[in-house]
């Protein structure tokens, strides 16, 4: 898929306990135990993955699809610019934002409207930070320009204009425990896969705020891969950790 001149393939990895995602498909109960993430939870990164907004033509149909995949859906709302949304959320604020647009009245809504008309799928990837100024200073040293609107900073370089970063996280006062009670036992977004035209520049971008780049071996894990045709435009891989 093409996003503003950049090839972007987003794979949303959801950590699940045991083999619960297969059980969710067959209606079996998920196991009670949880699996700890394979990272050091005591280390707080400068930048982390937050939510992935992606455009769909049929919001209710997309929400129904994700319910069938074992996700709880948090209802969204109508926005003045024509956007309607619903959410797959995790306790840290991350997740997926399903978006559709009726009659767009601003540039953001217009972008989602045109993207959904062309192809369903992710329009951006949102990243969060506890220190936005520090991130911008590091990116500035790479010559990456940015612009901030309503607390969200977009990167102006064409190589990176599929991403945005903001300070804080996407938690909401309206989040409830039932919004995180996914029957497939998913509890976090573990990563994304990006296929840019200039991968070296993307690696440099993430190294700037302190990311560690490494190769990941997936042999031996239990995996279930769902193609975009089944998920309204995004590859989803479930792993038994």
Helix (H) or strand (E) holding 149: strand 146-149
pLDDT at res. 106: 93
Between 8 and 213, whose confidence is greater? Answer: 213
Task: Give every CB contact of residue 77 below 8 A, 6+ residues apart in sequence.
Answer: 84, 85
Residues spanned by the domain of 155: 2-240
Does the pLDDT at position 50 exceed 80? yes
Cβ atoms of 131 and 43 within 8 Å: the answer is no
List pLDDT tens digits, range 157-214: 888 888 899 999 899 999 999 999 999 888 888 777 777 778 888 888 888 887 766 6
Tokens of 141: 């040293």
Cβ atoms of 193 and 9 within 8 Å: the answer is yes
Task: Give every CB contact of residue 13 below 8 A, 6+ residues apart in sequence.
Answer: 189, 190, 191, 192, 237, 238, 239
Q: How many domains does one find in the chain?
A: 1
List pLDDT tens digits, range 123-154: 888 999 989 999 889 888 889 989 988 889 99
List pLDDT tens digits, range 74-129: 999 999 899 999 999 999 999 999 999 999 999 999 999 999 998 888 888 899 99
pLDDT at res. 121: 84
pLDDT at res. 196: 76
What is the domain-level CATH number for residue 172? 3.10.180.10
């Amino acid at each position: 898929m093409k996003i503003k001149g950049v090839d972007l393939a987003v794979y949303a990895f959801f950590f699940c306990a045991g083999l619960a995602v297969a059980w969710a498909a067959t209606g079996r109960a998920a196991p009670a135990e949880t699996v700890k993430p394979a990272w050091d939870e005591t280390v707080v990164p400068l930048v982390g993955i937050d939510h992935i907004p992606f455009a769909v033509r049929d919001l209710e149909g997309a929400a129904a699809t994700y319910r069938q995949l074992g996700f709880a859906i948090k209802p969204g709302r109508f926005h003045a610019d024509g956007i309607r949304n619903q959410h797959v959320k995790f306790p840290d604020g991350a997740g997926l934002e399903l978006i559709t647009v009726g009659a767009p009245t601003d540039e953001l809504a217009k972008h989602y409207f045109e993207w959904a008309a062309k192809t369903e799928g992710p329009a951006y990837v949102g990243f969060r930070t506890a220190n936005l100024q520090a991130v911008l200073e590091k990116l500035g040293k790479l010559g990456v320009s940015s612009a901030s609107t309503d607390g969200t900073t977009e990167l102006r370089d064409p190589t990176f204009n599929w991403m945005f970063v903001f300070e804080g996280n996407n938690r909401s006062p309206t989040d409830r425990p039932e919004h995180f009670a996914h029957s497939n036992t998913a509890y976090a977004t573990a990563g994304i896969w990006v296929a840019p035209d200039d991968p070296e520049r993307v690696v440099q971008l993430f190294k700037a705020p302190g990311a560690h780049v490494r190769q990941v071996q997936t042999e031996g894990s239990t995996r279930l891969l769902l193609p975009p045709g089944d998920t309204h435009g995004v590859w989803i891989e479930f792993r038994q950790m």
